Structure 1
Amino acid sequence: MLTLYQFARIVEIRTKLVSVSSYLIGTLYAFAYAESFSLYRAILMFIATIAIDMGTTAFNSFFDYYRGIDSRDTNREEDKVLVHQSVAPGYALFTAIGLFALSIIPSVLLLIDVVISYGIAKAFLLLVAGILSMLVGYFYNGGKKPISRGPLGELFAGGFLGGVLIIICIFIQKGYIAYQDTLLALPSTVFIASILTVNNTCDIEGDKKAGRRTLSILIGRQKSEILIYLEAFLAFSLAYACTIKNILPPASPYTISLGLFYAVPQYVKMHKAGFSHKTKGISMMRILRIFTVFSAAIIIPLAFAVLKKLSE
């Protein structure tokens, strides 16, 4: 019988912070600046987002174990319960399928509401985006040639967990997407990609043995470390660009600067410790903390913009 702890580890519940942050950025932005806002659509979108994200991670857990990528020889992470607690892999597969099936209910209700509000054409675009998100979620580690085994993992992870998710959250509230909306989606896209770069750089040895050809393997450890810092620089730069373009509220430059002030010493510590399987746990903890602060630097000013709108 699968315990709650084991379920949480199969879906890697702590990493849901990534999708939740993108959801909040898109939803709060739409609430603050769209002409109208539907709490009903926002709730449906949240349920579908979490279900697909957890289902995707469960598929990852299953296929990583099934293909021998996660094994006692190559993995020391205690959170990998299929490896270190001998949890039957079928539980992970059943969990993934169940969560994807669960996501269909709020997705269908959301599509119906979008048809009523904006028409069939807009609903069709949403349907395509939803189907693509689920396909990427499965094929990220599933299929004969998983996305994660190649050099495009960062692009798809950042693109869908960041940019696409933020844009969908805005689209369901406005019924259209402006260029400002796409620019808002870029900082999170780049930063989420950097999280995967940290993960893959730490896993170079194990991924090589498993036959993967990740970007970190192709460019080497030294260039991968440089890429991590470049991605951080680009993410913060894009966030500042959103303030210059008045896409984010006036207080955003101050919160982003505070986020940068926190991030720099953390990157220094990561650099000194190095990126290897031995330091993966602490490296991932640090990059997720930086991401949390980075996301909060964007979310907090948007939340105050929402409160200001409500008080008017």
Structure 2
Amino acid sequence: MSHQPVVFAEELTKEFGDTTAVDSITFGIERGEVFGILGPNGAGKSTTMRMISTVSPVTSGTLRILEMDPQAHGPDIRARMGIIPQDNLLDQHLNVRENLTTYARYFGMSRSRARERAAELLDFVQLRERADSEVQPLSGGMKRRLAIARALVNDPELVILDEPTTGLDPQARHLLWERLFQLKQRGTTLILATHYMDEAEQLCDRLIIMDHGRIVGAGSPRTLISSLVPPEVVELRFDAPSLNDYAGKLTEIGDRVEQLPDRILVFGDNGDAVVAEIYRRGLPPSSVLVRRSTLEDVFLLKTGRRLVD
């Protein structure tokens, strides 16, 4: 087995006219890992995913997927890749099993092998009992599992997932997480784009955070959290029309104070000690929450809280 990265990008750039959507980014994705690409709207992550998916040509820089140039070997790469788009794009005119067997035929499988593969995948995503059901009545979680099964028909080495659990209830999300973890255990390389920071923190071995087309953070979730934000966060709410006075009096407590419209965040090494100092100064909040720092804190630190369209 080759020790070359499954995906290698160096100074990767994508331009649309005068707009630079991806600006000279460099990263590698190792075989068998779950790699996250995170970023706010307009950060360039979707454009990066489309280049890796071989559906959008590179403007400049180097991109190698499965040790091949996507512009020269696009069909060969796609034959070894599975793609789960944000929209399921299931065929409503076919039943659950037929969505898999028909797709399998595109990869040259015989009819008998296609049915065998469909049965294997329906077991994997826990849809065997719905094999003869129409697609339309399925729940959102079932449709998402069927989309994942379809992407695995060709037993891909690399699977790209764009917002795989958006709109799903917690039970459906966790079932999908279990299936993705099983794929990783089998050695499948997964590339994940998600807006759910808890999802990235749970699933990703490594990730990059993009903003304005550039990489602004890279590493494992735990490394990013420990290196960029203090270990604990204290969330404070006060019964006051304005938090400005309180924020000013909290500036020397902890390592960083961040004022939001409805609450104040105080970052520090020891949340309980921060709370004790707040009360000692005669600034009792109406509510207080002490929590550990998360990947969402890192994400917002690196990309800001302003909504970008």
The higher radius of gyration belongs to 2
TM-score w.r.t. the length of structure 1 is 0.27
Which structure shows the bigger proportion of residues in helix conformation?
1
TM-score w.r.t. the length of structure 2 is 0.27
